Amino acid sequence: MAAIVRISSVCHRGGKLLFYRSSLLARPLVTQQKDQDRSYPLTARIHGSSSLRAAGSVSKAASLHWTGERVVSVLLLALGPAAYYFPGPAVDYSLAAALTLHGHWGIGQVLTDYVHGEPKIKMANAGLFLLSTVTFAGLCYFNYNDVGICKAVALLWSK
């Protein structure tokens, strides 16, 4: 089988790797004792994009956004059982906010990936904010003037 390899086919005599002289590695992984005091210079440079060289505050904002997305996802997981066991206005409005925010961030990532060109991005983001606002307002209206999200889901399951 391909996963079973003899050690002698990977290593040469003296512990040097088969790929030691290959251009794939900048330095060998296994060497003899006498070769360990030699330094191995990098053979190629890796160039990142200009966005990777941006200030640290952008990275901090992205990190906080990523953490916020995970918190909202875990909150939605917790709100499912809470909506079943403790239906009420507090859980209804929490679900409305969390579902809207989760959907807003998710569709925002799709727009980031698939919409190109400055005017198209601005129009797509404006449409997303409008959709998110209407969604949240509609869910709040439904919670205030009707049975609420929790009882509506329970009614759907009961029939």
Domains of the chain, by residue range, sit at 1-35, 67-158
Amino acid at 62: A
Q: 109 burial class (0-12, 13-18, 19+ CB within 10 angstroms)?
A: exposed
> 102 a known binding residue?
yes
pLDDT given for residue 62 in this prediction: 84
pLDDT given for residue 121 in this prediction: 95
**118 φψ region: left (φ > 0), alpha (ψ -120 to 50), beta (else):** alpha
| Under 8 Å between Cβ of 147 and 153 | no
CATH for the stretch 67-158: 1.20.1300.10
Q: Per-residue confidence of the chain (159 residues) as pLDDT tens digits? A: 344 445 555 555 555 554 455 545 455 555 555 655 566 565 666 655 555 555 555 688 888 989 999 999 999 999 999 998 999 999 999 999 999 999 999 999 999 999 999 999 999 999 999 999 999 999 999 999 999 999 999 999 887
Question: pTM for this one?
Answer: 0.61
| Under 8 Å between Cβ of 32 and 14 | yes
pLDDT given for residue 3 in this prediction: 43
pLDDT given for residue 104 in this prediction: 96
